[in-house]
């Protein structure tokens, strides 16, 4: 039995209400259409169509089967289209929204390399730390570093982003190195002001979770500013490693409280739900996963 052929024949009969019309559209004889539907009914053990000499209409079971069959055939057509599109070069405009620091430090070089792979694609990259609505903003892909709230949008994880508690050697030499999370309460702390936990730092070690409410000397919504202040000896900062990595490697920052970890952040690619994802979007997200997934380059040597 040709199950796919039978499904297509059955759906076309229901849509047109006629075996003859279905045969004409599918370029098959009426008897071939009737055979397809008959084999389908026999395999299911149920009558799907009410037949007269001039008209065919679905039974109650037939109507349920018709609705499911439409979805199955649409998915198959979408799969065929995806394979066909994958063989062609993506074209048109790709609109991407991303956080400012990640965009300038990590995403910029990646986008430049992606442009080399897809020379016929136009890319509009908008960097902003505002929580832009991807739908209202008209973005094909929105990159976010966050714990996502539930929504109708689809999110694909790109990579986990570690964070480090760090300070300059000069600061630690003058003020001492904290040994326990509670020691941070006696230090000048530099804090990011827009975490889901508020200004609190959560650090976890073998002795459990520690929540620190910083008595901060600087609170800002840009982690590059925190890094620069920490490098200049102004206090201790909790920084994503994609921002602090170079300073940690060249020694201008030192990691402290190494036996404690802050919960990692996560970089997600967010896009609107669709039955068939545009090839330009799929290729871009796949590229980001390949580029940043696993152990990212910014963590090398840390």
At residue 275, does pLDDT exceed 60? no
Q: Is residue 208 part of a domain?
A: yes
| Mean pLDDT, range 265-292, rounded to an integer | 86
Q: Is residue 115 part of a domain?
A: yes
The answer on 269 and 142 residing in a single domain is yes
The answer on 150 and 174 residing in a single domain is no
Q: Is residue 220 part of a domain?
A: yes
Q: Give me the sheet containing 154-161, strands edge to edge.
A: 121-127, 92-98, 141-145, 265-271, 154-161
Q: Is residue 260 part of a domain?
A: no
The answer on 219 and 195 residing in a single domain is yes
Integer Cα distance of 158 and 174 in angstroms: 40
The answer on 65 and 21 residing in a single domain is yes
Q: Is residue 36 part of a domain?
A: yes
pLDDT tens-digit map of 104-149: 999 999 999 999 998 989 999 999 887 777 666 788 999 998 766 6
The answer on 271 and 124 residing in a single domain is yes
Q: Is residue 96 part of a domain?
A: yes
The answer on 156 and 170 residing in a single domain is no
Name the residue range of residue 221's domain: 163-255
- Bridge partners of 269, per DSSP, are 143, 156
Q: Which residues of 237-268 are buried (b: 16+ CB within 10 A; e: fewer)?
A: bbbbbbbbbebbeeebbbebbeebebeebbbb
The answer on 208 and 60 residing in a single domain is no
How many C-alpha atoms does 286 have within 13 Å on its Cβ side?
Answer: 9
The answer on 284 and 141 residing in a single domain is yes
| Mean pLDDT, range 181-195, rounded to an integer | 86
Q: What is the CATH number of the domain that holds 96?
A: 3.40.190.10
pLDDT tens-digit map of 60-110: 999 999 988 988 988 888 777 766 665 566 788 999 999 999 999 999 999
The answer on 210 and 223 residing in a single domain is yes
First to last CA, the chain: 60
Q: What is the CATH number of the domain that holds 50?
A: 1.10.10.10
100 in Cβ contact with 129 (< 8 Å): yes
Q: Is residue 248 part of a domain?
A: yes
DSSP per-residue string spanning the chain? --HHHHHHHHHHHHHHT-HHHHHHHHT--HHHHHHHHHHHHHHHTS--EEE-SS-EEE-HHHHHHHHHHHHHHHHHHHHHHHHHHHTS---EEEEEEE-HHHIIIIIHHHHHHHHHH-TTEEEEEEE-SS---HHHHT-SEEEEESPPPP-SSEEEEEEEE-EEEEE-HHHHHHH---SSGGGGGGS-EEEETTBTTBT-EEEEETTEEEEE---EEEEES-HHHHHHHHHTTS-EEEEEHHHHHHHHHHTSSEE--TT-BPPPEEEEEEE---SS--HHHHHHHHHHHHHHSSS-GGGTT-
The answer on 190 and 43 residing in a single domain is no
Number of domains in the chain: 3
Q: Which of 40, 60, 86 is the last residue of a domain?
A: 86
The answer on 219 and 175 residing in a single domain is yes
pLDDT for position 152: 63
């Amino acid at each position: 039995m040709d199950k796919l052929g039978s499904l297509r024949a059955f759906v076309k009969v229901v849509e047109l209400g006629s075996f003859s019309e279905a045969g004409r559209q599918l370029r098959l004889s009426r008897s071939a259409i009737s055979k397809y539907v008959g084999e389908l009914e026999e395999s299911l053990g149920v009558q799907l169509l009410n037949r007269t000499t001039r008209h065919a209409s679905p039974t109650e079971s037939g109507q349920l089967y018709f609705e499911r069959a439409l979805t199955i055939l649409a998915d198959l057509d979408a799969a065929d289209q995806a394979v066909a599109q994958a063989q062609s070069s993506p074209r048109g405009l790709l609109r991407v929204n991303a956080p400012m620091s990640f965009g300038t430090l990590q995403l910029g070089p990646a986008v430049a390399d992606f442009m080399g792979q897809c020379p016929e694609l136009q890319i509009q990259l908008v960097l902003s730390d505002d929580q832009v609505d991807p739908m209202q903003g008209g973005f094909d892909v929105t990159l976010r570093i966050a714990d996502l709230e539930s929504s109708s949008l689809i999110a694909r994880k790109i990579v986990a982003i570690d964070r480090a508690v760090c300070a300059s050697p000069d600061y630690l030499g003058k003020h001492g190195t904290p040994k326990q999370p509670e020691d941070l309460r006696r230090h000048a702390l530099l804090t990011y002001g827009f975490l889901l936990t508020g200004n609190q730092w959560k650090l976890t070690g073998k002795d459990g979770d520690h929540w620190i409410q910083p008595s901060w000397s600087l609170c800002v919504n840009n982690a590059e500013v925190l890094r620069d202040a920490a490098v200049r000896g102004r206090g201790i900062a909790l920084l994503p490693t994609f921002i602090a990595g170079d300073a940690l490697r060249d020694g201008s920052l030192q990691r402290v409280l190494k036996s404690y970890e802050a919960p990692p952040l996560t970089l997600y690619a967010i896009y609107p739900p669709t039955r068939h994802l545009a090839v330009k979007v799929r290729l871009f997200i796949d590229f980001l996963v390949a580029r940043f997934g696993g152990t990212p380059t910014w963590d090398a040597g840390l």
